[in-house]
Amino acid sequence: MIRIMKRTCRVTAIFSICIFLATFATSEAIGRSKKKTDTLTLIPFGGNAWRTDKDTTGGNISNEGIINWSSAKATFTSYVRFGQMGKLNVYLHLSVPKGRSSITVTALGISKTITTSGSGFRDVYVGDWMIRDTGYIAFQLKGVSKTGDVFADITGIALSGDPVKSKMSFVKDNEGQFFYWGRRGPSVHLGYTVPDGVNAEWFYNEVTVPKGNDVLGSYFMACGFAEGYFGMQVNSPTERHILFSVWSPFNTDDPKSIPEDQKIIMLKKGDNVHTGEFGNEGSGGQSYMNFMWKAGTTYKFLVHAKPDGKGRTEYTAYFFAPEAGKWQLIAGFSRPKTDTYLEHLHSFLENFEPEQGTKTREVHFNNGWICDSNGKWMELTKARFTADNTGAKGYRMDYAGGVKGQSFFLKNCGFFNNYTPRNIFFEWPRSGKKLNIDLSKLP
């Protein structure tokens, strides 16, 4: 009897192992069969995923995707926008350098866990999700267990099914700069309508950043013109700038290569204002004042431009903070080979920190005016809404703009769903009020 029981246990154990191996083989076979019949679309993590827990050690995103993933605390999130509903087949394109790893993928509140091994990159089937609405979906990855040093190196998430057949929005390539433009998100602009034949000598605008929208890496640009821009930034948790820059007419990203006769000349600067040169996005003269402006407070910006009659135009920027109660001079620059008043007036909102591309920010612009060379003030009540190449190519659709009360607003990043079509005009009725600035008393 005892001998029979031992034999039965042995047979049962062998049977169980066979079932396990058969199940595992069947699972692998399912993955292989899907890869043979399905065309997969790869969402590269280099441009579409972020580490979203508070820690920064034990795993990060590189140009190639998730690497050095050793920490079980690490959480990675990838975002994809779908334009069609239906069943979505999800794979991970990964390699497990050593040992065996279990990884959980969560989307739409549903989690699925895979256990896999093998050092070669391949598409590992995770499961199916039903997409019941269009818009952005977040895919979250967490490590469950591992026998090797790292959970996996993961290039991206690979998808097939009906939702993939319609247009999806994700960053497809890195444009040679570590997916820089896609990761930082779309910049959005307002191009103000100015009457034909007007020589705009002054450009005035007011800016309010709603509370909670002063996200690190944001530039809220109030007074832009063809040759420069003027606005306020969030540079670090303890530093914020009022920034005014004018481009050189010499086209280069290296300020050191600008010929002497095409350099921007600083004419004057205000107290506690830093001046110098800038590069990488064109080159020219730059000035900024450290000022810890506050969200929820309205600040005033004023730019003046006037040709000197000798082939140069002088640009001057002034800033008014209610905390100071007076206009402050930022800087004055002279631009060579230029004979113009202010043209192509605009405002914009951008994020210049790629790791902050998952956070939404909004800004309001109101009470915009220009004053022509004859001293006549005109209210700016109409603007065209546009987005940069990241938005225009459909890589990111988390951008919006419009009118709220007597303000234009711009909004970007954070993967929200209700985007605004580009190249449309916003307008509000003229207020009927007059702008009261005594230009003769400016510093």
Sign of the CA dihedral with 424 first, then 80, 359, and 417 last:
positive
Q: Measured between alpha carbons, how far is 84 from 106 in angstroms, rounded to an integer?
A: 20
Q: What's the confidence (pLDDT) of residue 436?
A: 87
| Segments of the chain with pLDDT less than 50 | 1-36, 279
Query: What's the predicted TM-score (pTM) here?
Result: 0.89
CA angle 129, 132, 137 (to 5 degrees): 65
Domains of the chain (ranges, CATH numbers): 39-170 (2.60.120.260), 181-441 (2.60.120)
**Contact residues for 308 (Cβ-Cβ < 8 A; gap 6+):** 314, 334
CB < 8 Å & 24+ apart, contacts of 27-32: 27/125, 30/125, 31/91, 31/123, 31/124, 31/125
Is the distance from CB of 321 to CB of 313 less than 8 angstroms?
no
Tell me the per-residue pLDDT of 280-296, one tens digit each, with 9 for 90 and over: 555 678 999 999 999 99
Is the distance from CB of 318 to CB of 330 less than 8 angstroms?
yes
Q: What is the 3-state secondary structure (H, E, C) of 344-385?
A: CCEEEEEECCHHHCCCCEEEEEEEEEEEECCCCEEECCEEEE
Q: Measured between alpha carbons, how far is 355 from 341 in angstroms, rounded to an integer?
A: 38
Q: Measured between alpha carbons, how far is 231 from 229 in angstroms, rounded to an integer?
A: 7
